[in-house]
Structure 1
């Protein structure tokens, strides 16, 4: 089945009707581009003029859907019009066909038609001048240039401007798309960061509350219950303070989304003491590789590294509080070869049940923190201990 020709554009139908009606009016009043005695007129009489007029008007219907076909048929119709008394409307519609072929045709047509019409204009000026040897012969080239080359050049200029506008619009759309992607990524990244902060700040306190409230309910000992309630109150107050600080960060419109008093390694002692209060047997060891010196480990550490190290230790102690078997938990920090190493070891028994439920978000958050700093992270059982290891590279110039 042969493909059906696309429907012509509404504007092309209007152009074709206007050209046909205008040509019929010119033909009706007896105006022609040549007289009956002209040497070029081979088809004398008024009726032959209508054939190229009607054909050219029909070609106008193809100016967008089949521009090259319309130009080829229109060229043949103009050739017939030349050997009749002629109609000005036929010539005008042909110039529009040349313009449309360059503007709406394929890129190859848009490149070739101006060159072809330009060469024809030059040839139409040189050949008659060489044959007739009169200056008036140059007018033939001028007429061909007006009828063929001028509309072709105009169509090329308009096409170039249209293509430039399309390219600019495409670049603007791509820029807007990239900006939207950047905004979405920024929002996603910020949501992930705030989720890590919320989890790290509150999970430790809530886990302690859950464990000690369970102990207070299950052990019928007033002294034990009193101590458990004291721990619950301390963790409730601390958790509430952390929540208020986080809410203050979220409400801050000044653009500083990082906590105003972000925890540092100076707070590890208090963190470990709190873990001991919650029931963990914890030891803290800082080592530079040559001597135990906490000040040397903390010296000139970048703020993001300090925050990540603190949160890793905090989350590891929280996990130990919920999952570790009875025994000692060790926290070790070492600064070697331009990086800070953090290791937390706690007794591990895969047959035991957790003292408080967990979601696994803590390990995900620790891994994300380390990945953002370009470090390495591992967590898993090693020699009957659950071991969390993180290596955090220091930025250039921070490490002596």
Structure 2
């Protein structure tokens, strides 16, 4: 099956038709581009028609059109000639550089330049007349100039396309960064919401269950007092978080991030909720002030571990130990592990996920699970948070 020629573009058809009509008008008026040629005036129509047909292929088959157009232009030199034929050849030369392959776009200007110089030197040597330079100029106008113009146009188009591609890539990367930033912010808000409110809600659930299950007015009053205290504190935490999200709460002062200095108050709050918790003072850090992200992560990990212990731990003492090493801060919370006879608050498993995420965001290591100890089986939560000594020095 013979290959079909590509369909010409609309602009190519317009150029071909317009050039052909102009050439026929010049031929009808007897305006010849050269005289004293072997072939008669009517023969000039043949290159004219061929070049007009090649104009239809200037965009789709530019290199093929240039090769055939070169032979047509050479044949036109043996006829009376037509100015439209020369102009169509220059357009085909230009199109071959603009629409051709990158290799052709590099090769054609060099070739036409060498041909121009070679013809100029050859005619000077043959005629021994400075007028031969005019022939070189004419060759440059017909061949080299449109090729050089095509190079400039092609380079401009490629630069524009490259700039557009870079702009699209930049926009895509910006959108990806925006999506990642939104996802990271949502995850951060989820962790903060869980860590701030989960402890209060767990205490409310446990004490309300106890009040409902025990028919003792004194116990019920104590449980209701704890429930009210945790409800007020949880509501305050929620309001602060909503104010941060909306930035319209009227509290223009940013809420201070919790630090390890507030650890004692945190433990006292859990003791109020009925949790037996002890702080290992021998391992509490007393060195240089830690970076704020490390302190916040350590505080939240302790807070969530105690919340889990309040919901799930067996009767016994929960131990909190924080040790500052030369290049890391270690947080360890141990709680009795086993069957629990009292009321139990439901859990979603988000607490362990949040603690692991906080640790990994700082490049640390997180472990949790049951272990054996001299006092029986315990559930250990251990987080190692790296500390850059340079950051410590900056905080002093």
The CA deviation at 1:208 is 0.8
Q: Is the 8 A contact 1:246 1:259 kept in 2?
A: no
SS of the counterpart of 2:199? helix
Match of 1:268 in 2: 263
1:328 paired with 2:317, answer yes
Partner of 2:16 in structure 1? 16
Q: Which residue of 2 aligns with 1:395?
A: 388
* CA distance 1:278–1:137, change in 2 (3 Å): same
Q: Give the conservation status (yes or no) of the 8 Å contact 1:250–1:257.
A: no
Within 2, Cα distance between the matches of 1:12 and 1:307? 70
211-220 or 84-93, which deviates more? 211-220
**In the TM superposition, what whole-angstrom CA distance separates every residue of 1:63-116 from its partner, at most 9, and x where no partner exists?**
111110111111111111111111110100000000000011110000010011
2:212 match: 217
2: CA distance, partners of 1:286 / 1:66? 85
Per the alignment, do residues 343 and 88 of structure 1 end up closer, same or farther by CA in structure 2, a change over 3 Å counting?
A: same
Corresponding position: 1:156 with 2:145? no
Q: Do structure 1's residue 99 and structure 2's residue 94 form an aligned pair?
A: yes
Cα distance in 1 for partners of 2:89, 2:256 equals 79
Unpaired runs of 5+ residues, structure 1, are 289-293
Q: Give me the whole-angstrom Cα distance separating, in 2, the residues matched to 1:398 and 1:33.
A: 84
Match of 1:87 in 2: 82
Q: Deviations over 1:123-168 (max 9, x none)?
A: 1111111111111122221111110000001101111111112222
* Root mean square deviation, CA, Å: 2.2
Of the candidates 285, 292, 299, which is equivalent to residue 303 of structure 1? 292
1: CA distance, partners of 2:74 / 2:390 = 82
Kindly tell me: are residues 142 and 263 of structure 1, through their superposed partners in 2, closer, same or farther at Cα, counting changes over 3 Å?
same
The residue number in structure 1 matching 2:181 is 186
Provide TM-score, normalisation by structure 2: 0.93
Kept in 2, the 8 Å contact 1:377–1:390? The answer is yes
Q: Distance in 2 between matches of 1:399 and 1:67?
A: 68
1:1-400 superposed matches below 5 A: 1-35=1-35, 38=36, 41-44=37-40, 46-252=41-247, 260-288=255-283, 294=284, 296=286, 299-349=288-338, 355-383=344-372, 384-399=377-392
Counterpart Cα distance in 2 of 1:343 and 1:114: 75
Assess if the C-alpha contact under 8 Å between 1:338 and 1:399 holds in 2. Answer: no
Deviation by residue 1:289-325 (Cα, 9 ceiling, x = unmatched): xxxxx4615x411111111111000000111111112
